[in-house]
Amino acid sequence: MTALAAEIGATAVSVVDAAKAGEIIIIAIPTKAVADLPRALFANVPSSVVVIDIGNYHPELRDGRIDAIDHGMLDSQWVAQQIGRPVIKAFNNILAKSLLEKGVPRGTKGRIALSVAGDSFDAKAAVLRLVDDLGFDPVDGGDLDDSWRQQPGMPAYCKDLEAAALRRALAEADRSRIAEYRAEQEARIADRRPRLAADASACPHLRAGR
Ligand SMILES: NC(=O)c1ccc[n+]([C@@H]2O[C@H](COP(=O)([O-])OP(=O)(O)OC[C@H]3O[C@@H](n4cnc5c(N)ncnc54)[C@H](OP(=O)(O)O)[C@@H]3O)[C@@H](O)[C@H]2O)c1
């Protein structure tokens, strides 16, 4: 981790220190690992600090079954419950390669849009600004209770859409099909794994199966 941090201009710290490290904290670990985070991780972190959940629940491919989510809790609602703190859902529906390579200045034709869902107006506004700063058009994805619209397999999931198309895709999602969309997405990932593995050897930033 220290070597990777040096390569990308970051500083590697412990999980506990990472939670206290800034105004915006991004949880970027497998969903199942969220349950293993220290219990009081955010206890002394000011409430003004924004926590972003970029995770996606992949029960068959990686995370194992999480009953609460299987019974209707949304992915990010479960994460918020685990860490005892509200989260903003963002960046879960763009692949790492696009996030790394496809950001462009505001106003550029074809700029990819990213949706941001959450309950706090101020926290969501901070993340919408971050999306813009990183080179993507920010789109308000509603409250956290709307965040299913950007979960795995939904029409707005990892399609690198422009703002108008992303809004349409968010609107056309069907809540009754969350599990079905997720299963379809997992099947697509499983199907692509051999090709991704080959691509990953050519591009160190693209790792298989994500
Ligand atoms: N990759 C993408 O394109 C992409 C796009 C959107 C969303 N996501 C979602 O983002 C999340 C992370 O994905 P990823 O691709 O970054 O996964 P990853 O490459 O497997 O990285 C996971 C990271 O989490 C760390 N980790 C694992 N268990 C941990 C624990 N108990 N406590 C602290 N850290 C732990 C790992 O550390 P070690 O290496 O030390 O184990 C590793 O640094 C997933 O939910 C994924 O679905 C990924």
Q: Is 56 in the pocket of ligand 1 (CB under 6 A)?
A: yes
Residue 206 has pLDDT above 60, yes or no: no
User: Among the listed ranges 7-11, 70-74, 111-115, 126-130, which one has the minimum average pLDDT value?
Assistant: 7-11
Give the pLDDT confidence of 123-148 residue by residue, as tens digits.
999 999 999 999 999 999 999 999 99
Identify the DSSP state of 63: I
Give the pLDDT confidence of 184-202 residue by residue, as tens digits.
999 999 998 876 666 555 4
How confident is the model at residue 193, as a pLDDT?
Answer: 81
Q: Could you identify the atom of ligand 1 that is nearest to the CA of residue 1?
A: 40
Q: What count of other Cβ atoms lies within 10 Å of the Cβ of residue 207? A: 13
How confident is the model at residue 209, as a pLDDT?
Answer: 40
pLDDT, average across residues 177-187: 98
How confident is the model at residue 199, as a pLDDT?
Answer: 56
How confident is the model at residue 197, as a pLDDT?
Answer: 62
**Residue 27: which region, alpha, beta or left (left: phi > 0; alpha: psi -120 to 50)?**
beta
Give the pLDDT confidence of 62-98 residue by residue, as tens digits.
999 999 999 999 999 999 999 999 999 999 999 999 9
Closest CA to 94 of 33, 167, 15, 150: 150
Nearest CA to ligand 1 atom 37: 29
Domains of the chain: 2-207 (3.40.50.720)
Give the pLDDT confidence of 18-63 residue by residue, as tens digits.
999 999 999 999 999 999 999 899 999 999 999 999 999 999 999 9
Nearest CA to ligand 1 atom 9: 55
Q: Is 133 in the pocket of ligand 1 (CB under 6 A)?
A: no
Q: Which residues contact 137 (CB under 8 A, 6 or more apart)?
A: 106, 111, 112, 113, 114, 131, 162, 163, 166
Rounded to two decimals, what is the model's pTM?
0.92
Residue 156 has pLDDT above 60, yes or no: yes
Q: How far apart are the first and last CA of the chain?
A: 19
How confident is the model at residue 207, as a pLDDT?
Answer: 46
